[in-house]
Structure 1
Amino acid sequence: MKKETLAEIITIGDELLYGQVIDTNSAWMGEELAKIGIKVKQITSISDSPTAIREALAAAMSRADVVLVTGGLGPTKDDLTKHTLAEFFQTELQLHQPSLEDVEAIFKRYNRPMLEVNRQQAFLPANCTPVRNVLGTAPGMLFEEQGTVIVSMPGVPFEMKRMMTDTVLPHLQQHFQLPQIIHKVVQTVGLGESFLAERIADWENNLPANLKLAYLPHLAGVRLRLTGLPNGTDNLEEQMQAQIDQLAPLIADHVFAFGEVTLEAAVGALLKARNLTISTAESCTGGLVAHKLTSVPGSSAYFTGSVVAYSNEVKKAQLGVPQETLARHGAVSEETVRLMAEGVRRLLNTDIGVATSGIAGPDGGTPEKPVGTIWLAYADAHQTVARKISYNKTRLLNIEYTTLQVLNLIRQSLPAAVEE
C-alpha cells in the first residue's frame, strides 16, 4: 500500500496563544490539503521565540512530509521567523531582487514611502525557493530538507491563502505522488448531528470501504462530506454520485445544496430562479438577515431593502404595527412579527417580506418571555407564516442562529409561494 503523505502545521505568534487572534489559517489549510490527498497529522501554535520555532520545526520534520509555517514574517523586531529559519537551515539572508521589486511596487501603488525595514523583507535565506506574495510585502520561503517540504508564509489569512492557491498546493501536487481523492458535500439545515446520523444510519453502514463520511456541524445544521479514495477502477466519480443519489431522498427536507454553497447563496438562487423579490424587517437581528442576503453576488436581482425596526416607534410608523397590538401582545410576539413581515412587504413592494423580533440578551427577558425567545415571520401574497424559536445562548449566537433560521424559513416557504 502506498504510504500516505502527512503534513504538520505550525502557527507562530504570541497573539494566538493569548487568544487575541483566532487561528483560522490552520482550519483552511487542513481542508485544502485534504482535497489533494495530504493528511494533517498535527497543528502546533508557538510563541515568537527562536527556541520555540527551532524545536517545533525539528519535531515536525521528524514526523511529516510537509511542514507549513505561518506567522512571524512582518517588518517589526518581534517577527523572528525568517532569521530563525536562516539559522536553522545554516544559511545567510541575501537580497532577492524580484521580491524587492514586488515590495517597491506595493508602496508605489499606494503612494507611500518605503522604509528600510520594508526593504529588509526582500532579504531571504539563500537556500530557499522564494514564494511570491502578490498581496503583501512579506515573501514566503520554501525549503526541501531530507525529503520534507517546508514552507513559511505570512500569518495574514488572505496573503497565506493566495500563496497556497497560486504556488504551494500546485508544488505539493507535483512533488508527491498523491492519491486521487474526490469530495462531495451535502449541505443540510435544521437537523442536529445526532438526529441526522440516526436518520441515515442504514445508508452510512452500507457505504463501500473506499468511501468515508464526515459530519461537520455548524450553527444551524450539518455539512456532510463524502470522501472517495481510489477503488482500483475508473468509476470513482460515478460510484460516489450513486451514493449521493441514495442519500438525498432520506433527508430531502433538510438538504439545501450540494457542494460548497452557503445557505444565503442557496436561498438567493431560489429567489432569482423564481424571479421573486424580498425585503426584511428586523428587530433583534439588527440587519444581519439583510447583510447575509446581500453578501451574495447578484443579490440586487431579488433583494430590495430593509427596515431595522429596533424600536416600537419604527414598528408603528414604518411597518404599520398598531399600538394596540404592541400593548396587548408586546413587540416579541407572533401577532407583531406577522404584521412586521406583511408591513415591510407592503412598504417596499416586494413579493416576500420576512421579519424578526426577539430578546437576544443578555438581559430584557421575563418569566413569560425569557432571553432567547424569538419570533420569525415570512409573508407573501398567499400566506403569512410565523415561527417561535428559543435559543438561550450568548447574544451574538442568538442573533446568528436567528438569522440562519430566517433564511431556512424562506427556503421552506418558497414552494408554497410559487405553487399557489
Structure 2
Amino acid sequence: MKVEIVTTGSELLLGQIVNTNAAYMSQRLNDLGFDVIYQTTVGDNHDRMKEVLEHALSRADIVITSGGLGPTQGDITKEVSAEIFGRKMKLHAESKRRMEERFAQRHVVWTDNNLRQVTLPEGAEVFLNYNGIASGVVLENNGKYLINLPGPPSEMKDMFERSLKPFLQRKFGFKHIIVSKVLNTMGLGESLLETEIKDLILAQSNPTLALLIRPAGVIIRITAKADTREQAEEMIAQMEEKIRQRVGSYIYAANDENLEEIVAKLLRDNCIKVSCAESCTGGMLAQRLTSISGSSSYLDGSIVTYSNDVKTKFLSVDEDLLCAKGAVCAEVAGHMAEGVVQMFNSDIGVGITGIAGPTGGTKTKPVGLVYIGVSGKYGTEVTENHFGGTRDEVRYRATQQALFMLRQYILKNIKK
C-alpha cells in the first residue's frame, strides 16, 4: 500500500518547530511494511490544504495527516478532509464526554471553541485521544483512506500505536516488513566509497543500498523487505558481508553505536589508558570520551594547549620547531601526542592542532586544516586532514577522526 504523509501547520513552514512527526510516522510505517512515497507539509490555508490532500489522494492509497485538530480557527484539517469526502461535521458524543471529564479533572472550564476538537466528520471511524482532547478520524471512499491524527507528538505517537497500527493490521494486514541497517564508515569520502561498492549499488533490488553523508562520516544504509523480520535480517546480513569484504576496514559501527562508545569499550577491554592534548578542539575530544560512564578507567587526563608557550612548557614541544613551522603542522601534532603520554604516564596520547576558523586561515594553511597525532609504545602516527563546515563542524570532525585513529591504532597493535 502506498502512503503519503501530510503534516499541517504554518509553524512548520516558518521553521518555528522541527517536523519530528513525519520522521516518526515514516519509520513506523516502513517497519510495518507500508511504502511511504511522499511527505508533504502545508500551512493552515483552506484552499492550499485542500489542493494538497486531493493531490495526495490521487497518488496514494492512504493519506495520513498530523496537525490541525485543535480548537482555533486555524485548525482546519478535519473540516477540509470532510469537505473532500462530502461529509458533514457532527458533534461526537463520546469524544465530548471524555473532553468534559478531562477538563473537570484539571479543574479547568472549557469554552465553546473546544467543541471544534470533538466535532468530527459524519461516518468516520474515530480514534479516541488518551493524551489530549482532539480525536483522530479515518475517512474512506472508493478504497482511498484519509486519516487525521493530532499534531502534538505525544498525542500523535500514542494514537498511532494504540489505534492506527491495529486499524492498519485489521484492514490490510502486515504482509511485508521493512528492515534497515546502517553501517558507519570513516576514512573514505562518498565518491571513493561508492567506487568500491558501485557494482553492488547498480545491481541492487532487494535489499537496496544508499550512501548518506553525516557529520560523523558516510553511512551505508541497507534496506530489505521480506515476509518476516528474520528473513529481512538474513538478506541484510548477506549484503553486509559483501560490503565488509570490500570496505570492512573503514566500517567502525552499525546502527546507533557512536565512535566514543566503541573506543571506550576497546580501551576498557584491553586495560589501556589514554590522554589528550588539544588545541583547536578545545577539550571536545576529552568531553566525548568522558560522556560515557566509567571513563575514569581509561582516561588519565587532558590538557588544552592553545598557546605556543603552553605547548612548550607542558608538552615539551620544541620552540625552534614552533618558530620554523608554526603550531599547525604534522610535527607539532606528533610531539603533542608524545608529550601528553609523558605528562600523564599514559599508554596512548592523542594530539590535535589545526585551524577551526572562520578566521586564521592562510593560503598555505587554510581553515579546516587539522593535524592529528596518536602516540604510544608502538610509535607515533600523524594524519593531515582537511575538514569543511562551520567552526563547530570542523572541531567535531577533528575529534571524530581522532577517535577513529585511536581505534585503528589499538586494533592494529593489539595483537603485538
Corresponding position: 1:152 with 2:149:
yes
CA-CA distance at 1:365 after TM superposition = 0.9
- Give the counterpart letter for 2:75 in structure 1: L
1:364 equivalenced with 2:333 (yes/no): no
CA distance in 2, matches of 1:216, 1:184: 13
State which of 175, 185, 188 in structure 2 corresponds to 1:191: 188
User: Alpha carbon RMSD of aligned pairs, Å?
Assistant: 4.1
Superposition pairs of residues 88-107 of structure 1, within 5 angstroms = 90-92=89-91
Task: Note closer, same or farther for the CA distance 1:241–1:392 as it changes in structure 2 (3 Å cut).
Answer: closer
| Residue correspondence of structure 1 range 272-351 to structure 2 within 5 A | 272-295=268-291, 302-303=298-299, 306-312=302-308, 315=311, 319=315, 321=317, 323-347=319-343, 350-351=346-347
The alignment partner of 2:356 has SS state of coil
Corresponding residue of 2:178: 181
Q: Please, what TM-score do these two structures have when normalized by structure 2?
A: 0.77
- Given that residues 130 and 158 in structure 2 are in contact (C-alpha distance below 8 angstroms), is that contact kept between their aligned partners in structure 1? no
Which shows bigger deviation, 250-259 or 303-312?
A: 303-312
Please state whether the residue corresponding to 2:267 is helix, strand or coil. helix
Alignment map for 1:90-239 (pairs within 5 Å): 90-92=89-91, 120=114, 123-126=117-120, 128-133=126-131, 141-146=136-141, 147-148=144-145, 150-154=147-151, 164=160, 168-169=164-165, 172-178=168-174, 179-204=176-201, 209-230=205-226, 237-239=233-235
Distance apart, 1:369 and its partner CA: 1.0
Are 1:67 and 2:63 an aligned pair?
yes
The alignment of Structure 1 onto Structure 2 pairs a total of residues equal to 402
Aligned-residue offset at 1:231: 8.3
The code of the aligned residue for 1:359 comes to: I
Q: Matched residues in 2 for 1:61 and 1:190: separation?
A: 45
- Contact persistence 2:68–2:78 (CA under 8 A): no
Which position in structure 1 is the counterpart of 2:395?
A: 399
- What's 2:260 paired with? 264
Q: 1:68 to 1:345 in 2, by over 3 A?
A: farther
* Alignment equivalent of 2:410, drawn from 402, 406, 414: 414
Question: Aligned partners of 1:383, 1:139: CA distance in 2, in Å?
Answer: 65
Residue of structure 2 equivalent to 1:110: none
Question: How far did residue 364 of structure 1 move?
Answer: 0.8
TM-score, with structure 1 as normaliser: 0.76
Distance 1:62 1:354, change over 3 A: same
Structure 2 counterpart of 1:150, which letter? I
Identity among equivalent pairs (%): 33
Q: 1:237 to 1:398 in 2, by over 3 A?
A: closer
CA deviations 1:166-219 (Å, max 9, x no partner) are: 665565445432313343433322222332222223445566x54322223324
Conserved? CA contact 1:50–1:80, under 8 Å: no
* Aligned residue identity for 1:198: T
1:298-325 deviations in whole A, cap 9, x for unaligned? 6565456544444445545655545554
Compare CA radii of gyration and give the structure with the larger one: 2
Instruction: Note the alpha carbon deviations across 1:25-66, whole angstroms, 9 max, x for none.
Output: 434543443232222222212223344334433433443333
Residue of 358, 380, 383 corresponding to 1:384: 380
Structure 2 stretches lacking a partner, 5+ long? none
Counterpart Cα distance in 2 of 1:292 and 1:121: 50
Match of 1:34 among 30, 37, 41: 30
Stretch moving more, 31-40 or 260-269: 260-269
One-letter amino acid of the structure 2 residue matched with residue 56 of structure 1: V
Q: Distance in 1 between matches of 2:377 and 2:156?
A: 48
Q: Report if aligned partners of 1:73, 1:80 keep a CA contact under 8 Å in 2.
A: yes
Change (3 A) 1:386 1:210: closer
Residue of structure 2 in register with 1:9 after alignment: 5
Aligned to 1:80: 75
- Residues of 1 paired with 2:321 and 2:156: CA distance? 54
